[in-house]
Structure 1
Amino acid sequence: MSIGNSPDDNSPEDARPFDGERADDSASERLSIGRALRQARIAAGLTVDDISHATRVRIVIVQAIEQDDFAPCGGDVYARGHIRTLARAVHLDPAPLLAQYAEDHGAGAAPTPANPLFQAERIRPDRRGPNWTAAMVAAIVVVIAFVGFTMVKGGDSGNTAKPPAAKGPETSSGRPSSPAPKSSKPAQKPEPTDSAIAAAPRDKVTVQVSATGGRSWISAKDHNGHVLFDGLLKQGDSQTFQDKDKIDLVLGDAGAIELYVNGKKIQDDFQPGQVERLTYTKGDPVTG
Structure 2
Amino acid sequence: MAIGRVLQRARLDAGLGIDDISTATRVRIPIVQAIEQGDFSRCGGDVYAKGHIKTLARAVGLDPRPLLERYDAEYGTSESLTPASPLFEAERIRPERRGPNWTAAMVAAIVAVIGFVGFTLFQGNDPAGDSGTQAAEGANPAESKPTPTPHHSAPPAAPKPAPSDSAIAAAPRDKVTVMINAAQSRSWVSAKDHNGQVIFDGTLQKGEKKTFQDSDKIDLIVGNVSSVELFVNGKKIDNQFKPGQVGRLSYTKGDPEVG
TM score, norm. by length of structure 2: 0.51
> Which residue is equivalent to 1:52?
22
Aligned equivalents of 1:60, 1:177: Cα separation in 2? 73
Cα gap change, 1:186 to 1:109, in 2 (>3 Å)? closer
> Which residue is equivalent to 2:127?
none
Percent identity between matched residues is 40
1:57 CA displacement:
0.4
Aligned equivalents of 2:26, 2:62: Cα separation in 1? 18
RMSD of the alignment, in Å? Answer: 5.2
> Which residue is equivalent to 2:112?
154
State which of 59, 63, 66 in structure 2 corresponds to 1:89: 59
> Which residue is equivalent to 2:196?
229
8 Å CA contact retained: 2:220, 2:249: yes
State which of 30, 36, 40 in structure 1 corresponds to 2:10: 40
Aligned equivalents of 2:168, 2:154: Cα separation in 1? 24
8 Å CA contact retained: 1:266, 1:285: yes
Q: Comparing both structures, which one devotes a greater share of its residues to helix?
A: 2
Aligned equivalents of 1:207, 1:173: Cα separation in 2? 58
Q: Which amino acid aligns with 1:231?
A: V
1:74 CA displacement:
3.1
Secondary structure of 2:10 counterpart: helix
8 Å CA contact retained: 2:219, 2:250: yes
* 1:75 corresponds to 2:35: no
1:110 CA displacement:
9.4
TM score, norm. by length of structure 1: 0.47
Gaps of 5+ in 2: 82-87, 121-142, 162-166, 181-188, 202-209, 238-245
Larger Rg: 2
Cα gap change, 1:192 to 1:91, in 2 (>3 Å)? closer
Cα gap change, 1:94 to 1:102, in 2 (>3 Å)? same
Aligned equivalents of 2:30, 2:220: Cα separation in 1? 24
8 Å CA contact retained: 2:25, 2:56: yes
> Which residue is equivalent to 1:250?
221
Aligned equivalents of 2:147, 2:75: Cα separation in 1? 81
1:34 CA displacement:
0.7
> Which residue is equivalent to 1:217?
190
Cα gap change, 1:106 to 1:173, in 2 (>3 Å)? same
1:236 CA displacement:
10
Aligned equivalents of 2:249, 2:145: Cα separation in 1? 67
> Which residue is equivalent to 1:177?
148
1:65 CA displacement:
1.0
1:133 CA displacement:
8.0
Secondary structure of 2:30 counterpart: helix
